[in-house]
Structure 1
Amino acid sequence: MHLPDISPRHRSLVRAIAVAGTSALALVRSRDFAPEHDRAARLGNAVANAGLTWIVGTKAFAGPLDGEFDLGAVWGPGEEDEGQAVRYSTVDPREQAEKAQSFRNLTTAFASGAFSWALWHPTQNFADTIDAKFPTGFGRGLGAAASGTFVAACAALLDKFEEHDQIEDLEYAPVEIELPEHIRGAVNQLLAQPHPVSAEAADTARAQFKSARFFVWVTYSRTQHPGDEPITLDARQLAELLRDEDVSNIDVYPEASSALIVPAQQTYPVVGTQDADASARLELTLDIVDGRLSSLNLFGTDADSPPRTSAELSTAAKSGTLHPLGLGGDGVGYSSSFEVEDEEFDDGPLTLAQWPEPNQLTFVADRTNCHHEHQQQAPGAEAGITGTHHGCTEYE
């Protein structure tokens, strides 16, 4: 059985009742009742305090309007794993958490009533002492105003907590974009370079790129864009999302009817490079998955290539030798031509606007593929005719 609670949609009414009730309760004095009615007044005060305590612990007073914000049970933390998914169980963990919060609220309200009963005479004596120092009615009015203001301030403070929580409630999701012209131009120029293996593969990649849709992952605020359904952004909102977003990958979705690229899994064997400084450069690459363009990538790369063959390794080392400074002696224990060295590219996010223009790139064919094709013989090799060599050079 779910313990009763008040829905957040009644927030204004519940908060008004809490403020008014607390103020009114502060006006009550034991001297207003005949001695034979003291016990009834004491009980009424205890019940009223318990009721007001329960009201300020409900979702309507302390919960969020959108249902996302959770004070973790207003009256203290719940179970250690509260709110986590329960495996192999038909029990809804969210419902369990709500029951636990309602139970704590009801328990706290009962405790408040009990304390009010126990402290009835001490608090009334203290209030009478304060009243005696002020003109008639002033002490009561001051107490009522202070009590009501305190409850109202608590409500405002809870709203501030909710607002702060929502500001921090950021999500990460893909958004469709129109590919900026300078990036489209750079990729078109890359795909226009002679393919080191297959002209047909280049034609297929160009056709896929021309028909593709493009997505980038962005961080967005749940407060501004709530819900789980797709959200249509206007140009200003999209520009705001992309303005400071670090984008090193753009996901590509060609048409389903597009011809497939062979090999199906590869990095396109022409890359665009831009020198960043003497020790590093940016590299534009295209990934192909299942025969289709999958992503455009712009990474920082280490210009000093690590050892690739045994001839580049130290001849003094032997099996069991540990290399704390890495095999290249540069202090890096691992390296890759597609890894970003953070210390060299830490000037801020790489936004779409900062991707290089076509004329800033040098296009380089995969020399491994070029060499491989150069060694192959085309049909008619028995007549001494070799396959065409497309060139293993750099293209400006």
Structure 2
Amino acid sequence: MPPNSYVSTQTHDSYDVVIIGGAMMGAATAWFLTEQKDFNGRILVIDRDPTYEKCSTGHTNSCIRQQFSSALNVRISQFGADFIQNLREYMGGDDRVPQLKIQNYGYMYLADTEAGADVLRASHAVQIAEGAETRLLTPDQIAAEYPFYALDDIVLGSINTKDEGYWDYMAVFDWWRRSARERGVEFLAGEVVAINHAKGRVESVTLASGSTIACGQLVNASGPRAALTAAMAGIEIPVEPRKRYTWTFSASQPLDRELPLTVDPSGVHVRQDGADTYMAGAHSDIDPAVDPDDFQMDRDIWMDHVWPAIATRIPQFEAIKVLHEWAGHYAMNTFDHNAITGPHPELTNFLFINGFSGHGLQQSPAMGRGTAEWLTYGEYRSLDLSPFHFDRIAAGKPYVETAII
């Protein structure tokens, strides 16, 4: 859906659901709302940047995995994998919708200490219990399957090559927006500057244009800007924009097989990108919160940290050429690295779909579906996402996810 599919003026003065943020989470929520047979209200999606130039979705590396430390996150990604690979069926059999597959090169987590290996073992037990096909590999077993790694320091590896790897997020994103719009959802280009509330309920939002739009329920789907949006309603949430850097490169000696998304103990990750190209990602050691409009690259990180790390782990990557580079943002939940979903306990028609800490794209099908169910029924009808509700933050009870890249 091109930017001109956004309108500059909404059709109505009041909507049953207003969604602030039209990127992956906002689009997922809007589309899944149109799937709820008991919802027949008006939906408005408002985005300050209809080009998506300054959002996490526009800078994603577009991968999916089941290797999480919590069972709920495993289930969420399993639904995501099913949705991606059966997109046309989920879209009602529409012949215009492409048939998608996940490029299953898998994720390879590497541990260089016994403590790190114990973390992989504990997560492996959770994943296996949920039906994932994760395998723990000794260094010798890794070398037999992937002989290009240098493994002298490695204690244990963990890999799953079923429903783990790259997927075409843009096709899903495009069809959520296109289908939602065809079903009557409005996408408005505008910036919310105030959230007006009284007596425990959001009543309306005010735009920079001066327009005020009434709403029955409001969804905060504003990615790295989530805390700014929540603050307009007098709510604090522990979500910060954290900068993440990505490079694509070619190698003078390409590998003879696909490279899993390798999570190195150094903190660098690297994976297959094209047939003979690769992608690496990292962040700075300090990793501060940044301005949500800050996308400036730090080129020293590549020379000082990323290239040395990947060349050490994969000696064939000693001679490589950077093709592209960019910076994006994680919407980092600094409380426990998990999503914040569901309603605010006091402002009860204000809903969160925030703080995904780098795994939001792959979780968007389940999170959009769950948020739509809550908006319609006040409860979940598929996966129970209540462990992610805001009230755990107010109570100081984290629901921790350790598998954060």
Please give the TM-score of this superposition, normalised by the length of structure 2. 0.20
Please give the TM-score of this superposition, normalised by the length of structure 1. 0.20
Q: Which has the higher contact order (CA 8 A, sep 6+)?
A: 2
Q: Where is the helix percentage greater, Structure 1 or Structure 2?
A: 1
Q: Where is the strand percentage greater, Structure 1 or Structure 2?
A: 2
